[in-house]
């Protein structure tokens, strides 16, 4: 086994981590390499901030920028950033491995309905500039950001203004798990609204032949139509062409769901009509669904957990986990629950769970963990 992998191998390890396919052998290989490059790790730690939370948020943003092959950084940083991503991955894997071993005893000591603590919706986002500088959006005062063409509104939204910047100058806005909902107005006037655990990479000005952005997670768009400069969104391995419209893209849980509210979009050469949803499954299967419940699709944008009558317990808990930045542990699998109705996203976690408990399922909260008793 090599103890000093080159940059290409480190990139492979990082990509495996992003895909969730990092094996025990991969982790062991990196562990050996990491000890030989401990000084680099120290540089990373000092660079990313003082608190563990700041380090996690900034690492998350840098990882998405670098591993996506989009960042223009020089010198030692590409290697350190790749290493940082794997360091974070190994920390996460180790953390969950310990939790998994401890879980049975911990759960056994808790009675259903025990709330050791509570959680509130968060408000966190990181703006990564073209030079690699990162800004905590919530810490930026309202007004102009430096001497750039960016402003922050009184309600916390970022607004870009058209400039003569080169077409290949990109920024990235990253919202971590538990980071809340954030709005971004692109230089062409297009509105993008990001859900928690989502990101968007975009040009600071639209001076090319077309307009291209890429996203992860869930983003709602209201695109300003310009027939001479088409607008494209890349998500996973899919490119969506906007034809002047309002649409929502949800790329959580291994699927990409593009839902058209008004106007027209083209997905995999399929031209959607308002009320239709294009579904790209993880196995590559593609389909178009008619008469989608639009209120449910954009409930998150309207500050609601909005569940249709057949929303599964797993889907509900996946949404709550992302919104409150909580881990979900299921105890028992003997029953099937489905939910319907609305819960304000401004609710405390305990209040949201108590509402869900009317359906018969029980919950407990312990630190960063929600225990679901099926």
Domains of the chain: which residue ranges?
Answer: 7-100, 126-296, 304-373
CATH class of domain segment(s) 304-373: alpha beta
User: Which of 135-144, 179-188, 192-201, 286-295 is predicted with the least confidence, judged by mean pLDDT?
Assistant: 135-144
The average pLDDT across 326-350 equals: 87
The pLDDT assigned to 262 comes to 93
The average pLDDT across 97-106 equals: 43
Q: Which residues contact 269 (CB under 8 A, 6 or more apart)?
A: none
The pLDDT assigned to 319 comes to 96
**Residue 22 CB coordination number (10 Å):** 19
Say yes or no to pLDDT of 169 above 80: yes
For residues 306 and 295, what is the distance between their CA atoms, to the nearest angstrom?
8
Band (pLDDT 50/70/90 cuts) for residue 109 is low
Structure token digits, residue 70:
């989009």
**Helix, strand, or coil (residue 31):** helix
Going by C-alpha positions, the residue among 9, 165, 137 that lies closest to residue 83 is: 9
For residues 181 and 186, what is the distance between their CA atoms, to the nearest angstrom?
16
Percent pLDDT > 90 in the chain is 52
> Length of the chain in residues, anyone?
374
**Residue 28 CB coordination number (10 Å):** 11
Residue 309 main-chain phi, psi, to 5 deg? -65, -20
Domain 126-296 carries which CATH code?
2.60.120.1440
Is residue 366 within 8 A of residue 114, CB to CB? The reply is: yes
Structure token digits, residue 96:
């969950």
The average pLDDT across 97-109 equals: 46
The pLDDT assigned to 123 comes to 96
**Helix, strand, or coil (residue 344):** strand
Structure token digits, residue 80:
């350190």
Q: What average pLDDT is seen over the chain?
A: 80
Band (pLDDT 50/70/90 cuts) for residue 203 is very high
CB half-sphere exposure, 27, CA atoms < 13 A: 15
User: Which of 10-19, 33-42, 236-245 is predicted with the least confidence, judged by mean pLDDT?
Assistant: 33-42
For residues 263 and 244, what is the distance between their CA atoms, to the nearest angstrom?
6
Band (pLDDT 50/70/90 cuts) for residue 374 is confident
Which pTM was predicted? 0.73
């Amino acid at each position: 086994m090599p103890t000093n992998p080159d940059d290409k191998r480190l990139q492979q390890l990082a990509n495996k981590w992003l895909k969730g396919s990092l094996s025990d052998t991969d982790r062991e290989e990196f562990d050996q390499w990491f000890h030989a490059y401990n000084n680099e790790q120290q540089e990373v730690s000092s660079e990313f901030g003082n608190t563990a939370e700041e380090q996690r948020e900034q690492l998350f943003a840098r990882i998405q920028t670098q591993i996506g092959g989009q960042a223009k950084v020089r010198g030692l940083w590409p290697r350190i950033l790749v290493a940082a991503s794997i360091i974070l991955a190994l920390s996460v894997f180790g953390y969950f491995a310990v939790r998994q071993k401890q879980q049975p005893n911990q759960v056994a000591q808790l009675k259903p309905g025990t709330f050791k603590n509570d959680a509130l919706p968060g408000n966190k986002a990181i703006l990564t500039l073209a030079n690699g500088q990162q800004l905590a959006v919530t810490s930026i005062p309202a007004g102009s950001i430096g001497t750039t063409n960016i402003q922050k509104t009184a309600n916390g939204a970022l607004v870009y203004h058209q400039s003569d910047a080169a077409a290949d100058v990109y920024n990235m806005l990253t919202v971590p798990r538990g980071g809340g909902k954030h709005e971004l107005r692109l230089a062409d006037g297009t509105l993008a609204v990001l859900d928690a655990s989502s990101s968007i990479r975009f040009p600071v000005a639209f001076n090319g032949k077309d307009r291209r952005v890429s996203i992860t997670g869930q983003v709602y768009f209201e695109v300003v139509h310009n027939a001479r400069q088409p607008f494209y969104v890349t998500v996973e391995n899919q490119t969506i062409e906007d034809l002047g419209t309002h649409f929502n893209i949800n790329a959580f849980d291994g699927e990409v769901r593009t839902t058209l509210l008004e106007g027209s979009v083209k997905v995999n050469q399929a031209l959607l009509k308002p009320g239709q949803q294009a579904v790209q499954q993880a196995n590559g299967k593609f389909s178009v669904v008619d008469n989608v419940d639009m209120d449910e699709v954009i409930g998150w944008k309207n500050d609601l957990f909005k569940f249709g009558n057949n929303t599964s317990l797993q889907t509900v808990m996946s949404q709550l986990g992302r919104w409150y930045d909580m881990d979900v542990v299921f105890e028992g699998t003997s029953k099937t629950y489905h939910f319907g109705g609305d819960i304000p996203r401004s609710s405390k976690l305990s209040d949201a769970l108590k509402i869900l408990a009317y359906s018969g399922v029980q919950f407990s909260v312990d630190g960063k963990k929600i225990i679901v008793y099926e």
